[in-house]
Amino acid sequence: MRLPQGFADDVKNQGDIVRVVSDYVSLKKRGANYLACCPFHSEKTPSFTVHAGKGLFKCFGCGAGGSIFDFIMRIEGCGFPESVRIVAEKSGIPIPVVEETEDHKKIARARESILRLNEWAAEFYQGQLNNSEDGASARDYVFSRGIKEDTTKLFRLGYAPDRWDALTNHLKDRGATTDELHNSGLAVLKESGGFYDRFRARLIFPITDPQGRVIAFGGRVMGEGEPKYLNSPETTVYTKGRNLFGLVHSKSEIRNLGFAILVEGYLDYIIPFQEGVQNIVASLGTALTDGQVRLLRRYMDQPQIVVNFDPDSAGQAATMRSIDVLLAEGFKVNILRMPTKQDPDAFVRAHGVERFRELLKTTQPYIDYIVEDSIAAHDISRPTGKVAAINAILPHLARMRDKVARADYADQIADRLRIDSHIVREELKRTATNRQHSLDKKRVRTAEELTVAERQLLELMLANQEVRRALVSALSEDDYLELATGAVFAAVIGMETQGVEFHFDNLAERLEAESERELLPALLMSDLAWAGGDDFDTLFKKATEALSSLRRRRFERMLDAIQIEIGQAEREQNLERVLTLYQQKTELQKRRLALSIA
């Protein structure tokens, strides 16, 4: 909107800041000033002051302050031109007509036309839901979804009749032209000419901008049918990636509480809102965009958000994508994992809003969510799986701005993954601190190289059938599962148990990782010269020595892991857990000593 030069100054001089602010808060006169509880943060003792003579406001609690336009921009989440228009309208000041170019005039007319038709359509859909015989099934559906009558009115829910031209004819009767119908997106052009209604046999959700103007619609089928949700196309008043469903109703509570809850769908928003959780917005079922995030950021000084997308795979993928967009705009991001497979709408209806409020107290920082997700996606019982999990986490860790926090999280991640290798732990910490996206492969490979005992035991088992048969019954999964060669040991034992012939091809096809298959030639080609003999007794003695060495090393890893858990329990001041772990540590030390004596 273009404003004539000097008009903003005129509005500022003529506008009554007390009258304008009083539309949003209850002001009480105190001397020369007016006081109220601040609309921008939660407080019980009034610290928000308006000075009528100077035309200024100031909150001595949160620091917000400025002119009448600053107040409107902050509370409405709008830009400067829009704030001037709002103040002018509230103050009864006519807005002068500015001579504009034909292009500007055309765009302005198109916007006004679409907003007018959208308002007519909203009224039509509301009437169909509330008063028509056709709307009976929709009313039953609304009731079945737990939506109350007051909620239906607040959000102006409606129903699109199951007819091809119900809305089109209504809009024509009210004076809509063919071009206006086409540009609004409410009607679809037929190939043969003419129009048909975009929305048919659907529950209708009007989508509004932050000022409450209807800019688009969403329609949901109430039974079988595809697509489940249908939205208005983009128009001159509606861009999907720049709007958030429900923001007009939630912005005050978001501002008061200082954080927002982000959900996916219309009902995920409406049901919690209806039950009192009103610092909530919905992303209109799309991948979150930077435009949506910037819009939401207007209502928070220190932006914080809880992402509560659906628990299905699509919702979790959307959660991961949203994290990066939110971090880029400076949000503190927490994630709410639903304990059931229900979305927010279904959960609140099934378990009640108080249970949902309790869940909101259990949200986790985004990095914890990513760590859990990466651990679940990789086999961290194997060294290669641990490294893969770390490399999935590191790009997100690198986005943390605080160097000390990155180093601290690196230690926590190493503890969660039970990484006992000093080399890998130090490499993880170095990489995280320097904001790099993956571990140094050479340094990690050094940590994962075969020990002498591993190599010797495998060479003996592969070269001598008698030794192999004798050891298969002696070995347990605990002996080799966490070794770099764990998969090779498992394959050898499996082949011996099943009576499969030992040669390279049979063994290689049982190994998934290329790095594991690359070990085989050297292991199979060993001449066992290092063993000092080729008789069974000599080879079996060497094999049992190697196995004892591996078992001692396993006990050392277990002791390292317990020591890590002890440190974690001590930081959490969990004394009962600390005592239990020390008892386990003592028992392991005894078992390691017994192995050494044997």
How many structural domains does the chain have?
Answer: 5
* Shared-domain flag, residues 494 and 431: no
Which structure tokens are listed for 208? 């509004």
* Shared-domain flag, residues 20 and 74: yes
Q: What is the dihedral of CA 345, 348, 350, 355, to 10 degrees?
A: 150
DSSP 8-state code for residue 159: E
* Longest pairwise C-alpha distance within the chain: 107
Closest-CA residue to 129 (of 116, 146, 115, 141): 141
Domain extent, residue 108, equals 102-238
CA atoms within 13 Å, Cβ hemisphere of 174: 16
* Shared-domain flag, residues 169 and 270: no
Q: For residue 60, what is the domain's CATH number?
A: 3.90.580.10
CA distance 205 to 187: 17
For β-strands 304-307 and 260-263, DSSP reports them as parallel
In tens digits, the chain (598 residues) has pLDDT values of: 567 777 888 888 888 899 899 988 889 988 888 999 998 887 889 999 999 878 899 999 888 899 999 999 988 888 888 899 899 988 888 887 666 667 777 888 899 999 999 999 999 999 999 999 999 999 999 999 999 999 999 999 999 999 999 999 999 999 999 999 999 999 998 888 889 999 999 999 999 998 899 999 999 999 888 899 999 999 999 988 889 999 999 998 998 898 999 999 999 999 999 999 999 999 987 689 988 998 898 888 789 999 999 888 888 889 999 998 998 888 999 999 998 889 999 999 999 999 999 999 999 999 889 988 888 888 776 667 777 888 888 888 777 777 777 777 777 777 777 665 555 567 777 777 777 777 765 555 444 556 778 888 888 888 888 988 888 888 888 888 777 788 888 888 889 888 888 778 888 888 877 777 777 888 888 778 777 778 888 898 888 888 888 888 788 777 877 877 787 778 777 888 889 989 988 988 888 887 766 5
* Shared-domain flag, residues 465 and 580: yes
Residue 126 is assigned to a structural domain of this protein: yes
Q: For residue 288, what is the domain's CATH number?
A: 3.40.1360.10
* Shared-domain flag, residues 504 and 550: yes
CA atoms within 13 Å, Cβ hemisphere of 149: 1
Domain closes at, from 401, 430, 447: 447
* Shared-domain flag, residues 85 and 39: yes
* Shared-domain flag, residues 531 and 573: yes
C-beta of residue 160 within 8 angstroms of C-beta of residue 128: yes
For β-strands 56-59 and 65-67, DSSP reports them as antiparallel
Residue 1 is assigned to a structural domain of this protein: no
pLDDT of res. 250: 95
Which parts of 434-535 fold into alpha helices (H)?
441-448, 452-463, 465-472, 477-480, 486-498, 504-508, 514-517, 520-525
* Shared-domain flag, residues 198 and 265: no
For 392, the 3-state DSSP assignment is: helix
Residue 374 is assigned to a structural domain of this protein: yes
pLDDT of res. 446: 45
Residue 188 is assigned to a structural domain of this protein: yes
Domain closes at, from 341, 361, 381: 361
* Shared-domain flag, residues 412 and 498: no
For 230, the 3-state DSSP assignment is: strand
CA distance 125 to 59: 43
DSSP 8-state code for residue 241: G
Residue 308 is assigned to a structural domain of this protein: yes
Strands lying side by side in the sheet with 260-263: 280-282, 260-263, 304-307, 332-335, 364-365
* Residue-wise DSSP of 296-351: HHTT-SS-EEEE---SSHHHHHHHHHHHHHHHHTT-EEEE---SSS--HHHHHHHH
CA distance 510 to 109: 70
* Shared-domain flag, residues 486 and 581: yes
C-beta of residue 162 within 8 angstroms of C-beta of residue 200: yes
CA atoms within 13 Å, Cβ hemisphere of 231: 19
Q: What global pTM score does this model have? A: 0.68
Closest-CA residue to 335 (of 310, 314, 354): 310
Question: What's the distance, Cα to Cα, between the start and end of the chain in Å?
Answer: 88
Between CA 235 and CA 241, with CA 238 as vertex, the angle to 5 degrees is 120
* Shared-domain flag, residues 357 and 412: no
* Shared-domain flag, residues 150 and 30: no
Q: For residue 109, what is the domain's CATH number?
A: 3.90.980.10
C-beta of residue 424 within 8 angstroms of C-beta of residue 415: no
In the block, residue with structure tokens 């943390």: 400
Domain closes at, from 238, 260, 289: 238
Between CA 230 and CA 237, with CA 235 as vertex, the angle to 5 degrees is 110
Residue 97 is assigned to a structural domain of this protein: no
Residue 95 is assigned to a structural domain of this protein: no
pLDDT of res. 444: 53
